[in-house]
Amino acid sequence: MGATPYLSIVIPVYNEEENVRRLQEQVTAAVDPLGIEYEVIYVDDGSRDRSFEILRELASGNPRMRLIRFRRNFGQTPAMAAGFDAARGEVIVPLDADLQNDPVDIPRLLAKLEEGYDVVSGWRQKRQDKGLTRRLPSMIANALIARSTGVRIHDYGCTLKAYRASVLKDVRLYGEMHRFIPAWAALEGARVTEMPVTHHPRTAGKSKYGLSRTFRVILDLMVVRFLGGYGTKPIHLFGGMGFTLCGAGILTGLITLYQKFFEGIKAHRNPLLMLAVFLFLLGVQAIMLGLLAELGIRTYHESQGKPIYRIAEMVNFEKAPAPVDS
């Protein structure tokens, strides 16, 4: 298989027969002059056109190309996860197959990474997409993600990024989670930055993105926010909600008593009584849910040996492990 590559380029492909040949030419032209060992991993996400046949033809004469083909269409996130799992490089760069990302930016991303960062995220400052259906939803989603996670980058949706492989080794991707990797990495203590990259209009093939993806991203954002803030202490979230609801129930009950004794309103005819009981019981259920979540989280971490912390470096230990986050 040759020397272990320094760089792994991961490219999900779905019905891009008109683009993959030119894409491979562009990748080769951009990375070959660097003089580094690299590999290009194409993950065919159940394409129904000739994408994989063309890739197989190209790979037959190019040992740097490695191909993975799914049995059916699973989506971009599973395709990227498969590429990350197969990658052997110290640095991993995902790239779209539609030629809107420009491989010429890869050397610039690598140079920025060498300044001491763990993640360099591409920023499509001059995005060449339709405003209403692509750019506007993306702006809204990016603002929500940045505000919710505290990781202030402008373009979470840009596939073109550079990661140190050590940052990705513990990441498990579900839903549309690939766009949240910089946020996950930052929560683990990684150093994250961004830089402007080129973005071209699509000239061939059909876009697979639409407004519906924005709503899925918002739902995934809720998962990220929960796991990032309460992934190891869910009782703090559910318990806080429970005490708030119980308190609201008690307060409503006191108002009901006040109205009974001082305003002559019969309790059994006062809807606030039902509201008080409802809020209190809902609060108790939230606390019970938090306790159950605590049991689930502890079982998850202890059964799989999942750490609740990440060590960057150890000094003067007899058998100090290699740094987890370089």
Q: Are residues 94 and 182 in contact, defined by beta-carbon separation less than 8 angstroms?
A: no
Domain encompassing residue 40: 7-230
322 inside domain:
no
Domain boundary among 215, 230, 245: 230
Residue 151 shares a structural domain with residue 184: yes
**pLDDT tens digits in sequence order for the chain, 326 residues long:** 467 899 999 999 999 999 999 999 999 999 999 999 999 999 999 999 999 999 999 999 899 999 999 988 888 888 998 899 899 999 999 999 989 999 999 999 999 999 999 999 998 887 766 655 566 777 777 777 777 777 888 888 889 999 999 888 767 776 667 878 888 888 778 899 999 999 887 777 566 555 556 667 677 777 766 766 666 788 888 899 999 999 999 999 999 999 988 888 888 889 999 999 999 999 999 999 989 988 887 776 667 666 655 555 555 465 545 544 44
Domain boundary among 204, 230, 256: 230
Give me the sign of the Cα torsion angle 16, 18, 23, 24. positive
Q: Which long-range contacts (CB under 8 A, 24 or more apart) does 22-26 make?
A: 22/99, 23/97, 23/99, 23/103, 24/58, 24/62, 24/65, 26/99, 26/102, 26/103, 26/104
Is the overall model pTM greater than 0.85, yes or no? no
Q: Smallest Cα–Cα separation from 101: which of 5, 227, 175, 10?
A: 10
Residue 38 is predicted with a pLDDT of 96
323 inside domain:
no
Residue 95 shares a structural domain with residue 14: yes
